[in-house]
């Protein structure tokens, strides 16, 4: 079945960077965008950006434009999200989620989440 | 930037109908999706494109939109429906989530 599997828990110090992976399987990779969303303690879901399946383009949320980089490797059906200059308020669970290409507006499958702790 | 607003919490008795609202400027002109998130779990899609279930079939979760408000309705609410619920829309190639509503089944 279709699934997204993310890399494991990360702990970083303030000012460092973190790179999380999201590997897709069980579906045609090129038919879905991959988004990154986080949930910090005591907060709701927050969108970080979208990655095209080809890995050729990404659009980032305004709040993260200068700190986030999304890349992709279609050959391994894996997408990466790197967040730099980490602060304590970046402590959160980070999720990848897929969104059908075309006019679809929803996320139907989510990764299991990656805990990032900045301390 | 575009914002959508949800009530922080909603309470409902078992077996009753729960309604959760999501408001934003001209929200009725956009497609709205709804997600359920339980503690320690990933979000799960419960309604897409305003009113469709994840598989295109309706179950106890349904959605409507009108004007500036989208509404998620849960019929015959059960204890297992206790969770945080989020609305989501697109605005100018970016994704927006509401702040989330905690549903308590008393």
Nearest CA in chain B to A61: B94
Is B48 in contact with A105 (Cβ distance < 8 A)?
A: yes
pLDDT tens for each residue of A7-18: 999 999 999 999
The verdict on A75 touching B (C-beta cutoff 8 Å) is no
How many other β-carbons are positioned within 10 Å of the β-carbon of residue B92?
A: 7
User: A1, exposed or middle or buried, with CB in 10 Å at 0-12, 13-18, 19+?
Assistant: exposed
Structure tokens, A67? 């700190």
- For residue range B70-92, list pLDDT tens digits in order: 999 999 999 999 999 999 999 98
Asked if residue A49 lies in contact with residue A70, where contact means CB atoms within 8 angstroms, the answer is yes
Question: String of b and e for A16-30 (b: at least 16 CB within 10 Å)?
Answer: eebebbbbbeebebe
Q: Tell me whether residues A44 and B86 touch, CB distance under 8 A.
A: yes
Q: How far is residue B4's CA from residue A96's CA, in Å, rounded to a whole number? A: 22
* Strand-strand pairing, A92-100 and A114-118: antiparallel
3-state helix, strand, coil in chain A (%, to 5): 10, 50, 40
CA B47, CA B61: separation in Å to the nearest integer?
A: 7
Q: pLDDT truncated to tens, each residue of chain A (119 aa)?
A: 999 999 999 999 999 999 999 999 999 999 999 999 999 999 999 999 999 988 889 999 999 999 999 999 999 999 999 999 999 999 999 999 999 988 889 999 999 999 999 99
Q: Do the Cβ atoms of A23 and A34 come closer than 8 Å?
A: no
If you measure CA to CA, which chain B residue comes closest to A96? B42
A50, closest residue in chain B (CA to CA): B94
Contacts of A62 (CB under 8 A, 6+ apart): B1, B94
- Please name the residue that has the structure tokens 């910090």: A40
Most B-contacting residue of A62, A106, A109, A111 (CB-CB within 10 A), to test interface = A106
């Amino acid at each position: 079945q279709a699934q997204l599997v993310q890399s494991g828990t990360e702990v970083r110090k303030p000012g460092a960077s973190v790179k999380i992976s999201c590997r897709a399987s069980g579906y045609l990779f090129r038919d879905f965008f991959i988004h990154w969303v986080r949930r910090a303690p005591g907060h709701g879901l927050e969108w970080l950006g979208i990655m095209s399946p080809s890995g050729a383009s990404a659009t980032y949320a305004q709040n993260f434009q200068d700190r986030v980089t999304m890349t992709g490797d279609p050959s391994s059906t894996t997408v990466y999200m790197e967040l730099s200059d980490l602060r304590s308020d970046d402590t959160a669970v980070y999720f990848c989620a897929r969104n059908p290409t075309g006019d679809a507006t929803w996320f139907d499958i989510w990764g299991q989440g990656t805990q990032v702790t900045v301390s | 930037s575009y914002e959508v607003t949800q009530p922080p919490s909603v309470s409902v008795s078992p077996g009753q109908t729960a309604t959760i609202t999501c408001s934003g400027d001209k929200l009725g002109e956009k497609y709205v999706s709804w997600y359920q998130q339980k503690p320690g779990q990933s979000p799960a899609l419960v309604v897409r494109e305003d009113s469709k279930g994840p598989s295109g079939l309706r179950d106890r979760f349904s959605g409507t939109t009108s004007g500036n408000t989208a509404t998620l309705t849960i019929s015959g609410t059960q204890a297992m429906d206790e969770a945080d619920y989020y609305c989501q829309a697109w605005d100018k190639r970016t994704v927006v989530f509401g702040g989330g509503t905690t549903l308590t089944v008393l």
